[in-house]
Chain A
Amino acid sequence: MSTPKAMQQSFALRFSSGAFLAFWCLLAAFPIFWIAVMSFKSPVDAFADSPWDVITGPATRAAGHGLSVIDIIAGLAVLYFAIRWAFTRLPGLVQQYCPPSLIVLGWVFGAVLYAVAFVLIFFGLLPLVLGALNSLLGPLGTPVLGLTTEHYVSVWAENEFYRNFLNSMLVTAGVVTISLTVGTLAGYGLARSGSDLAFWLLILALVFRALPHSVLVAGYLPVFINSSEILRPILGDGAPTLYGQPWAVIAALVAINQPFTIWMLRSFFQNIPAELDEAARVDGCSHFQAFRRVIMPVMWPGVITTGLFSFLLGYNDFLVTSLLLDAQNQTMVPAIAGYFNRETTTTDQVEAVAAAVSITAPLFLLVMVFQRQIVSGLTAGAVKG
């Protein structure tokens, strides 16, 4: 397809458009890239004056943590093949060995297995082999790039960040499952009912969507702290204190997330032709049967997209979890605030950076795998009305 001559762009315009784009990409990636680099350096290097020192890390190298040219080449090669394999062969294997009814579980299992294998090979096997190679190769084997994982070790092992990670996973998994279950039903009902009531529910949801979360937490807090006294007349002596309970936070986050979820799922359901469930109804299905047998098999793209955004809400939340959970059930994002208070030495600062990168890494993977779904989710609400 050739562009008409009048639509062709001058060189200056194409150049400035390309330059702007390059500048934007640099701007978008730089802060994230930079904290990732900092987290692998010793404190002296991480806060060095010259950017080149931060990247090459002379102090880290001097402390005996360095990579040789061979290490870098081998590491990149393994990384490349691991990613390629994950995108080309893994899906086939999952589909081959997993019964279709359990495909979601199969994917989770496959991903976990893959992650464990990757960690074992990359951090266990590779250093052993390369250590032997480096001592044999002489000049090629001398370290050129300072790199250390000690901050990650101290964050995850010594500071028990894995506890916060598990809490985050618990809260996020709870939020995603419950808000999708509740939201799909409501989204379907709202999409198929043209009544005034449905319209008012959606408007109400829009108003709720605008509420600052701190307003809601101001309502939860006194009730959650005193809940065992408030609930005692109903539940007897076993009435729980909701403050600090992960499942109470899950319920609160699900509700906060509901307005957004039902709007998004409704717009996805509206794209599924109503003739589909009408046909099922003619064949004698009730509304619920039609939903279960006809709609459920075709609704997964919309549900996965909405699930991604619920995941982001649960995972990224700071305000609700920091106020409603106590220290031992704390999730990752509020836990990083704990580093602020004792961030007195530069080592503490770099450990905080390592914790921040640990929080970002799963999100990075998420965009890599689900980029298409995220884009379609962003545009679903806007473009179709």
Chain B
Amino acid sequence: MKFKTFAAFVGPSVFMMILFIAAPLISVFIQSFQVTQPILQQVEVETCTPGFLTQTCTTEIKTVPILGEDGKTMTQTSWVGLQSYKNVLQMDKVWAAIGNGSWNEIMQIDFWKALRFTLSFTLLTLPLVVGVGLAIALAVNNAARAIRGPIIFISLLPFIITPVIGSLSIYWLFVGDGILTAMMERWTGTNISMFAQAWTIELLMYFYRVWHVAPFAFVIFYAGLQTVNMDTLESAVIDGASRWERLRHVIVPHLMPLIIFIALIHLMDCYRVFEEIVGFRSQAHVISLQWLTYDFMTPDDAGNRAISRASASAMLTMIGIVFLLILPLRRTWRDHKGSAH
């Protein structure tokens, strides 16, 4: 295919990606060093109240924003260097906390709290998703052919459901008067509230994510199981391998590329954890990096959006993505070079 034809085919797609992905990235990078504020001026205002004989007048100096010709507040953008990053990271408080040796004080700062949750969420759910997915795939592979279709249908439901709605549906089961909370209260005889402390919310979030993603792992592993070489399996049986040894030495190595694929996709998606925070309404206890950026961008009570702090936290989030992608990209690059020679 000539370059011109190739360019014509991929042109529209590349154009959209440059306009809506690459360009915003650059502008976020620039914004994170800038702050846009309304221009303020100080005016001397004299207010008079009627009094006996003479008016009582007071003058005071007020700070008011300058209005432009169209009646809007005039704003100016100035370069502030790393100030926004400092506001997000709050390193002075962190160093003070490290000096005290107090982990809890670090966890008071939004960014570090979000980072801690995002990382533990990503790393803890990964083995669970792979394990549960593999277990379901093996069990379905074991089941009678007639019931496999309906089982796949039911399994797809948690995967296909809107993430916010999915986490809400679990929230409603465990909310103060929800059915499962009532059941647990009857068993234990104590008063349980699942959404009053951070660790129970986190447990539910881990559960929700595994529930939501395990079907995806299951479908892929199930497809992979159909291509396991039966001859190898049979010779393993002849060699006296037990069921567990066959799983460990024949089936898992066969599925290894798929496990890596799922792990990669799962790391990417988990690092962006966001919808759970909205669905479980956990912002007071547990937040994630993406939610932090989202929160900076939502207008506060005065209608202002903290765009520069949002950009700074977005850029800090990107650092994690770089770490996440270095290994797979190096691998792909080596494969590509290997295939070229």
Is B102 in the interface zone, CB < 8 Å from A? no
B332–A255 contact, CB under 8 A?
no
A255–B143 contact, CB under 8 A?
no
In Å, the complex CA distance between A284 and B317 comes to: 52
In Å, the complex CA distance between A201 and B9 comes to: 13
Is B58 in the interface zone, CB < 8 Å from A? no
Given A17-B143, A189-B9, A262-B13, A31–B169 Cβ distance below 8 Å?
yes
Is B211 in the interface zone, CB < 8 Å from A? yes
A-side interface mostly: helix
The stretch of A153-161, A297-305, A333-341 in contact with B is A333-341
A353–B172 contact, CB under 8 A?
yes
User: Which residues of B, 237-287, contact A by the 8 Å Cβ criterion?
Assistant: 237-238, 243, 258, 261-262, 268, 271-272, 274-275, 278, 281
Q: Mark B176-214, 1 if CB is under 8 A from A, else 0.
A: 011100110010000000000000000000000001000
Given A29-B154, A208-B17, A359-B165, A367–B1 Cβ distance below 8 Å?
no
Q: Which of A31, A312, A318, A340 is most buried by chain B, counting CB atoms within 10 A of its CB?
A: A31
When distances are taken between beta carbons in the complex, the residues of chain B under 8 Å from A220 are 20, 24
Interface size class of A (residues with CB under 8 A): 35 or more
B-side interface residues, number (CB < 8 Å):
100
Q: Mark A1-43, 1 if CB is under 8 A from B, else 0.
A: 0001011010001100110110011011101101100100000
Given A47-B177, A193-B6, A214-B294, A9–B142 Cβ distance below 8 Å?
yes
A185–B165 contact, CB under 8 A?
no
Given A28-B215, A210-B325, A254-B16, A218–B311 Cβ distance below 8 Å?
yes
Query: Residues of B at under 8 Å CB distance from A?
Result: 1, 3, 5-6, 8-10, 12-14, 16-17, 19-21, 23-28, 31, 36, 135-136, 138-140, 142-143, 149, 151-158, 160-166, 168-170, 172-173, 177-179, 182-183, 186, 211, 215-216, 219-220, 223-224, 227, 233-234, 237-238, 243, 258, 261-262, 268, 271-272, 274-275, 278, 281, 289-290, 293-294, 297-298, 305, 307, 310-311, 314-315, 317-318, 321, 324-325, 329, 332, 336
* 16 new A-B contacts at CB < 8 Å, known A367-B153, A382-B261: A4-B237, A7-B237, A32-B157, A190-B9, A197-B3, A212-B290, A212-B293, A214-B294, A216-B21, A220-B20, A316-B162, A356-B168, A360-B165, A363-B162, A375-B156, A382-B262
